[in-house]
Amino acid sequence: MKSSKKEVILAGLIAIAFFILGQLLWSNLFKFFEPKIKGIEFRIIESNSKTIKTSLLVSLTLALIPILTVLIWRLGSIISSTRRIAVSLTILAFIAIGIMIRHAAVRAYFTRIANNINPSKEKDVIYPLDPDFGYYMFAGLCIGFIVSYLLFRQKKI
């Protein structure tokens, strides 16, 4: 079997594993990423009013990571191991930046209103939250894909 077919099959298997993990662990993942604010306890929920459920969006985003990475390698004719690793790290970095931006926005908003919600801070106020990290992760994935392709593809002469 050719090396490129092995890559595609491996990327597909990893994508399936990431999708399943995303479905099973999405709420634990978001509990980890939610800011810790004194006086507020975030309760992760999944709202049915959204067009796409948070768990599905996160799972699809995670599944797209290996698929888009291999796609960049093939479209950009990237054969160097160093460049392949750089592509992968660039994509992951942009996803992480998206998560950090969302984290900072939530922290800033809730820190500002924490005193209004719970001025005594004796007991935490439970705040149900359907995190939109998935959108930020997906945006980071798309931006990382574009930046990686533009930076690391083989320039044709």
Q: How many domains does the chain have?
A: 1
> What are 91-107's pLDDT values in tens digits?
999 999 998 998 888 88
Place of tokens 């888009």: 68
Residue 38 lies in a domain: yes
pTM for the whole structure: 0.82
| CA-to-CA dists, residue 139 to 32, 119, 155, angstroms | 20, 36, 26
State the pLDDT confidence band at 116, using cuts at 50, 70 and 90.
low
Residue 157 lies in a domain: no
Q: What is the CA radius of gyration of the chain?
A: 19
Residues in a beta bridge with 127: 42
pLDDT at 50 over 80: no
Q: Which domain holds residue 66?
A: 3-44+52-152
Q: Which residues contact 75 (CB under 8 A, 6 or more apart)?
A: 149, 153
Residue 141 lies in a domain: yes
> What are 123-137's pLDDT values in tens digits?
666 777 767 778 889
- The DSSP letter of residue 119 is S
Q: How confident is the model at residue 140, as a pLDDT?
A: 95
Residue 72 lies in a domain: yes
Residue 77 lies in a domain: yes
Residue 56, both tokens: 């599905």
Q: How confident is the model at residue 117, as a pLDDT?
A: 64
